[in-house]
């Protein structure tokens, strides 16, 4: 015999015992991967990848939901001519004449959220005068797994590798890092930045001690600001090749700075190395500078 009322009562009792069906668990939105190679980036390090990396980041900005910009393992060259150009008024880098208000930026994340820049163990080689990375009005940003370096940075490091007196004249021999470029003439040295492939001219240049010097003692692990004596009272200057420069002086007093390192630069600060502006929850991990 069929009792529909009884069946409804049993169903109600079972529902009361079991409770309501669990609500579906919301899954986080899937992450979209943007591979810079799809835009023409060259992981072999033979071609400039700045322009296509810019296009990859711009594309990622249009993606809805979390996005990961990947530089698959390799070496990527980034020159300033094709990099992102942004007008920025950064403290200590823009003077009254606004000559340096336009900044070239290798990787610019602007008005973005939930974005990861993943180097996958790659190396980024920056050239010329450019900011490596900037996050502007962005949130939930992670940058990871890169090494990086600048070719011929706008700072000259030179170590006094030998000093003494010879033939009645004091002398120093300066040793410079790999990649240093300079020209000697008329008892002066002109420091040269890397040559731009676009213009054929160095990105920057400076003479002798430039305007600012720090001195580092690698034994005592101490660094201080001081006057630069390297280019005072010079009698002769000789390029010894192999990144060595000999300076002879009119004085007969032997220098006492053997082993010290002179770090010289101009006082113009045209380019910040990296920039975070009005951004939050920015994480940087697995990055290392290659020297």
The reported pLDDT for the residue numbered 291 is: 54
65-101 pLDDT per residue, tens: 999 999 999 999 999 999 999 998 888 787 666 888 8
The reported pLDDT for the residue numbered 61 is: 96
Question: How far apart are the C-alpha atoms of 261 and 285, rounded to whole Å?
Answer: 30
The reported pLDDT for the residue numbered 191 is: 96
Pairing of strands 274-277, 131-136: parallel
Q: E strand or H helix at 4, and its extent? A: helix 4-18
Alpha carbon distances (Å) from 72 to 5, 105, 115, 118 = 67, 20, 16, 8
Question: How far apart are the C-alpha atoms of 273 and 284, rounded to whole Å?
Answer: 15
For the chain (291 residues), the mean pLDDT of every run of 10, in chain order, is 38 41 59 96 96 97 95 97 92 77 95 96 95 95 94 93 96 93 95 95 95 95 96 96 96 96 91 90 79 54
The reported pLDDT for the residue numbered 25 is: 54
Give me the residue label for tokens 């990055």: 287
Q: Quick one: tokens of 189?
A: 């040295």
| Helices and strands per DSSP (H, E), number in the chain | 2, 21
The reported pLDDT for the residue numbered 12 is: 38
The reported pLDDT for the residue numbered 38 is: 97
Q: E strand or H helix at 16, and its extent? A: helix 4-18
The reported pLDDT for the residue numbered 121 is: 95
Task: Record the pTM.
Answer: 0.83
The reported pLDDT for the residue numbered 13 is: 33
The reported pLDDT for the residue numbered 235 is: 97
The reported pLDDT for the residue numbered 20 is: 53
């Amino acid at each position: 015999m069929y009792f529909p009322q009884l069946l409804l009562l049993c169903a109600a009792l079972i529902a009361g015992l079991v409770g309501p069906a669990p609500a579906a668990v919301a899954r986080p939105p899937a992450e979209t991967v943007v591979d810079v190679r799809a835009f023409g980036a060259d992981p072999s390090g033979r071609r400039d990848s700045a322009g296509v990396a810019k296009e990859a980041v711009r594309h990622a900005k249009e993606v809805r939901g979390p996005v990961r910009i990947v530089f698959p393992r390799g070496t990527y060259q980034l020159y300033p001519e094709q990099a992102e150009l942004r007008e920025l008024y950064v403290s200590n880098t823009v003077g009254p004449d606004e000559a340096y208000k336009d900044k070239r930026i290798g990787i610019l994340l602007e008005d973005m959220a939930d974005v990861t820049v993943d180097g996958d163990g790659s190396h980024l080689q920056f050239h010329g005068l450019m900011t490596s990375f900037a996050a502007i009005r962005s949130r939930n940003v992670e940058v990871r797994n890169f090494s990086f370096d600048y070719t011929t940075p706008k700072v000259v490091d030179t170590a006094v590798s030998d000093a003494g007196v010879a033939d009645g004249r004091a002398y120093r021999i300066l040793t410079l890092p790999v990649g240093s470029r300079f020209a000697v003439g008329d008892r002066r040295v002109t420091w040269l930045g890397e040559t731009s492939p676009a213009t054929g001219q160095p990105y920057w240049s400076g003479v002798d001690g430039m305007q600012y010097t720090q001195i580092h003692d690698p034994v005592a692990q101490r660094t201080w600001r001081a006057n630069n004596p390297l280019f005072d009272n010079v009698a002769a200057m000789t390029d010894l090749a192999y990144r060595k420069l000999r300076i002879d002086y009119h004085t007969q007093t032997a220098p006492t700075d053997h082993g010290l390192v002179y770090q010289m630069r101009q006082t113009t600060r045209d380019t910040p190395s990296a920039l975070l502006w009005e951004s939050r929850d920015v994480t940087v991990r697995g990055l290392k500078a290659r020297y």
